[in-house]
Every structure is written in structure tokens, then in C-alpha cells.
Amino acid sequence: MSELEQLSERLQAAFSEAIEKVEIAFHELAIIVKSDQMLATCQSLRDDFGFEQLIDVAGVDYLHYGATEWATDEASSEGFSRGVKPETAGRFTFHDAPGEYQHEGPRFAVAYQLLSIANNQRLRVKTFCQDDDLPVVDSVVDIWSSANWYEREAFDLFGIVFKGHPDMRRLLTDYGFVGHPFRKDFPLVGNVEMRYDPEQKRVIYQPVSIEPRVLVPRVIRAQAGESDDA
């Protein structure tokens, strides 16, 4: 039995009521924990399992999970038009994504990357926000102080609220920014643009003036006389 498998069994025995799923893939161990038991689980992971360091906290948006704007097996080979004409074969917007690609269950999740220096082990912990309209999870700042700015970043970019955070403010976007730019339904070009107005002698906001488009992906084609399998 590998070291990861041993750790997996220990975690499942200790958190049998809290863990929803355990997965070992690509030599990494990941667990999904119920949101209402995250704090107690994280406290024990630090105190009893030696995961004294929080490396990262990341928000996840599963809206249209697995969808792609390019059905490459059927896409047109007409070049530039594929990037600017939504009706072109092979392209669709995420709002029109096929239903089978949509994620089942809560839309938002939070992933925590933990490190045990003493045991030379890593662990990914994920929990799902139960309310898609107002995604909320408990803050782990009191357990790992490094979570402070990570949680603010996830709040800013995904709109995930961390209950109990001491300073839940935006971190990366501008003052007065509307929306959360890492959400899958946020337009790639944004909603507003800013410029300096010489008459008003200040920076102003205005509606986006560029047309939304998708860049044409690079396609590697076989050389003349070669098959696609070469």
C-alpha cells in the first residue's frame, strides 16, 4: 500500500461523516468535505495530521463544466471567420452550451492546497458552496493565517463569501468594479472600459467599445503528402 493510500485510509477513518469523496489521481490525494464540517475538518488536519501550511485557496466555477467553444472534430476550416461569426460551424457561446456539459450539483467550490512539511505530504481539500446565488463558506483564516488574501482574491474574482473573514474586501479589481471576472458567465471583454477624458480632466468609465470575439485556435495540419496519423 502506497503512502497516499495509507493517508487516504486514515482520513476516511477520522472524517467518515465529513468526507463526501476521496480521489487519488496523478500521484495526488484529494478529498471533498461537506461545507458545514469544513472548519472542524481543517482544524484537525492541521493539529492531528500535521498539515501546518496552507499553500493556496482557489475558487472554482463549474458553470458549463467540460464545455468548449470549439467542437474541433466538426469545426469549419475556413479560418478567420470562425473567430468572428458565432453561427459558424464548430463555435457556440457558453450561454448556448450543450446541456450535457453542465455540471450537476452546486456551481461554486473552493479548493485548498495543504502541505505537511514534517511528513512531506500534500493534500487537496475541496468543498462546495450550497447556494449558487450567494455562495458562502467558512473562512479558515483562524486556522491558517495565509488564507487571508487568498480568500479575498476568491471573493473578488468569483464572488464567494468567506464567513468570519476579518476583512472581506475586493483585492485585485478597481474600486467600484461590478461583477466577478472569473465567473464563467462574465463577458471576456468586460462590461465597461476606462479612458482619460481631456474635457473633464479625469478618468471616466464607458460601455465597452470593442466587439466580443473568440480568437481562432491554432490548428496543426498535416504536410502535403502526409496523413493525419503521421
Q: What does the pLDDT look like over 178-210, one tens digit per residue?
A: 899 999 888 878 888 888 999 999 988 888 887
The Cα 123–Cα 15 span in angstroms is: 14
DSSP bridge partners of 163: 138
The mean of the pLDDT values for the chain is: 84
Question: What's the confidence (pLDDT) of residue 211?
Answer: 73
Residue 7, CA distances (Å) to 37, 127, 192, 207, 222 in order: 19, 19, 49, 53, 47
The domains located in the chain, with CATH, are: 3-63+103-170 (3.30.460.80)
Residue 221 pLDDT greater than 70, yes or no: no
Tell me the mean pLDDT in the region 135-153: 98
The Cα 110–Cα 31 span in angstroms is: 12
The Cα 39–Cα 15 span in angstroms is: 12
| Number of C-beta neighbours around residue 181 at 10 A | 16
Which has the minimum average pLDDT: 90-99, 124-133, 147-156, 182-191?
Answer: 90-99
Residue 88 pLDDT greater than 50, yes or no: no
Residue with the bigger pLDDT between 194 and 220: it is 194
Question: What's the confidence (pLDDT) of residue 72?
Answer: 54
